[in-house]
Amino acid sequence: MNTAIIGAGIGGLATALAMRKAGVDAVVYEQASTVGEVGAGLSLTPNAVKALDWLGVGERIRALADEPPQMLTCHYATGEVLVAFDRSDTVQRYGAPYLQMHRADLHRVLLDAWLKQSPDGLRTDRRLIALESNGTPGSSTRLRFEDAAANRHENSAAAVVAADGLKSLVRTQVFGATAPKFGGFVAWRGLVPLAALEGVPLSAGSKVFAGPGRLFVRYPVRRGGLMNYVAFARVDEWQPEGWSQTGTVAEAAALLHGFHPEVHSILAATPEGRCHKWGLFAREPLPEWTRGCVALLGDAAHPMMPWFGQGAASALEDAVILGRCVIASTAESDAPQTEAGLIAAFRRYERTRHARVTLIHHESAAGGERLAGMQPERLRDQPVRNEDSLGLFSYDPVSEALA
């Protein structure tokens, strides 16, 4: 038995670890020629940390991450606190901490854990260009790849898990999905050495400045050594070619005109005045994520807007539930893994996950509209609808009943 995992991002590597824990061999295929440091900060909510514990990397993550004691949402201009969340009792309330860290650090922990278990389990410089599967037990899926030199490579696998992100080729070829749609916001992100912010009064933990059609989020990563920030602005369309590019701090600062001085102090301290800029895209939820021996996972299955910080968390939950479904399939059949057993496990994974992820998908889309409303003062006066009130943190992918 062998499984091909398309994509060596957070979801793909977590899935590889989960499949190995379930006793299934896997090879991860990644289109990049090298797997290096990319991205900036991300949040790991308690439900995500529980998944990382099951995968065996929770302690390493805790050693690298920051744990915010509070999360504040403030008026964009005055800095008045509109909503405050105490995170000091998160472990007691939810059974795991709320963490924030550099995405590259999380990725490195997962990659190291996978290569330790499977030194030959990663193939880089492999861009998937086609796959053929008739979806019946006993037939392998043929995968065709192309490398940077335009050389073609072909492999086969008993099953395929596509963790190839928003632009998933597997999703398009197997499920006939439509193209992603622009979500109405452009984002800029950067990392500032905390030493460059000496003299700037910064409250502990994370903070959101909410303004009309605009947001600014900041929180420390790498044990307080860096300040991660993301700025969002509502725009009518995304014009540049491609979905991401290098942006300028001056552009972000102009769009955030009138925001609190703390925001502009952080922007001004960005090294070389350059940051990453990208348009926010999403897809509508699919009615199914599995077809025969092919399954979608993470952003390939359910790409969502970032307002609830559940993108990476959902991919980690997916991986754990998928691994548990494979384990359950083996235990219930009391026989070695078969392709038919994997297909049944894939279907069970979809049944178990679909309702929760569809809920998060819709709520995340609505969350941006609430935060970037034209009257930020209303955030103070209206009932809070977020991850806490929706009970997202209480979810435990390790103990969740399998459908």
Residue 243 pLDDT class (50, 70, 90 cuts): low
Instruction: Give the integer Cα–Cα distance in Å for 117 and 120.
Output: 9
| Phi, psi (rounded to 5 degrees) for 162 | -95, 110
| Phi, psi (rounded to 5 degrees) for 393 | -70, -25
Percent pLDDT > 70 in the chain is 95
Q: What is the pLDDT of residue 266?
A: 97
The answer to whether the beta carbons of residues 55 and 113 sit under 8 Å apart is yes
Q: What is the pLDDT of residue 245?
A: 84
Q: What is the pLDDT of residue 59?
A: 97
**φ/ψ bin of 117: left (φ > 0), alpha (ψ from -120 to 50), beta (otherwise):** alpha
Average pLDDT score over residue span 101-114: 96
Which helix (H) or strand (E) segment holds residue 246: the answer is strand 244-248
Which residues are within 8 A (CB) of 75 and not within 5 positions of it... i.e. 6 or more apart? Answer: 82, 209, 210, 211, 260, 376, 377
Q: What is the pLDDT of residue 281?
A: 86
Q: Is the pLDDT of residue 365 over 90?
A: no
Poorest-pLDDT segment among 129-133, 162-166, 196-200, 230-234: 129-133
Residue 139 pLDDT class (50, 70, 90 cuts): low
pLDDT digits (tens, 9 = 90+) for 27-50: 999 999 988 767 789 999 999 999
pLDDT digits (tens, 9 = 90+) for 281-332: 888 878 899 998 899 999 999 988 888 889 999 999 999 999 999 999 888 7
Q: What is the pLDDT of residue 122?
A: 97
Average pLDDT of every residue of the chain: 91
Instruction: Give the integer Cα–Cα distance in Å for 70 and 86.
Output: 5
Q: Is the pLDDT of residue 275 over 60?
A: yes
Q: Is the pLDDT of residue 24 over 70?
A: yes
Question: Is 207 strand, coil or helix?
Answer: strand
Question: Is 39 strand, coil or helix?
Answer: coil
Q: What is the pLDDT of residue 137?
A: 53
The answer to whether the beta carbons of residues 321 and 21 sit under 8 Å apart is no
Average pLDDT score over residue span 10-35: 95
Q: What is the pLDDT of residue 332?
A: 77
Looking up tokens 């297909």, which residue turns up? 343
Q: What is the DSSP letter of 225?
A: T
Instruction: Give the integer Cα–Cα distance in Å for 30 and 312.
Output: 18
Q: In the chain, what are the domains?
A: 3-180+284-394 (3.50.50.60), 182-281 (3.30.9.30)
CA dihedral 367, 318, 295, 121 (to 10 degrees): 130
Average pLDDT score over residue span 378-397: 86
pLDDT digits (tens, 9 = 90+) for 322-348: 999 999 988 877 555 677 788 899 999
Instruction: Give the integer Cα–Cα distance in Å for 253 and 259.
Output: 9
Instruction: Give the integer Cα–Cα distance in Å for 318 and 48.
Output: 10
Q: What is the pLDDT of residue 61?
A: 98
Q: What is the pLDDT of residue 341?
A: 84
| Phi, psi (rounded to 5 degrees) for 51 | -65, -45
Q: In one letter, which amino acid is 387?
A: E
pLDDT digits (tens, 9 = 90+) for 212-230: 999 999 999 999 999 999 9
Percent pLDDT > 90 in the chain is 70
Q: Is the pLDDT of residue 242 over 60?
A: yes
Which helix (H) or strand (E) segment holds residue 196: the answer is none
Instruction: Give the integer Cα–Cα distance in Å for 226 and 221.
Output: 5
pLDDT digits (tens, 9 = 90+) for 166-201: 889 999 999 886 778 888 899 999 999 999 999 999
Q: What is the pLDDT of residue 244?
A: 73
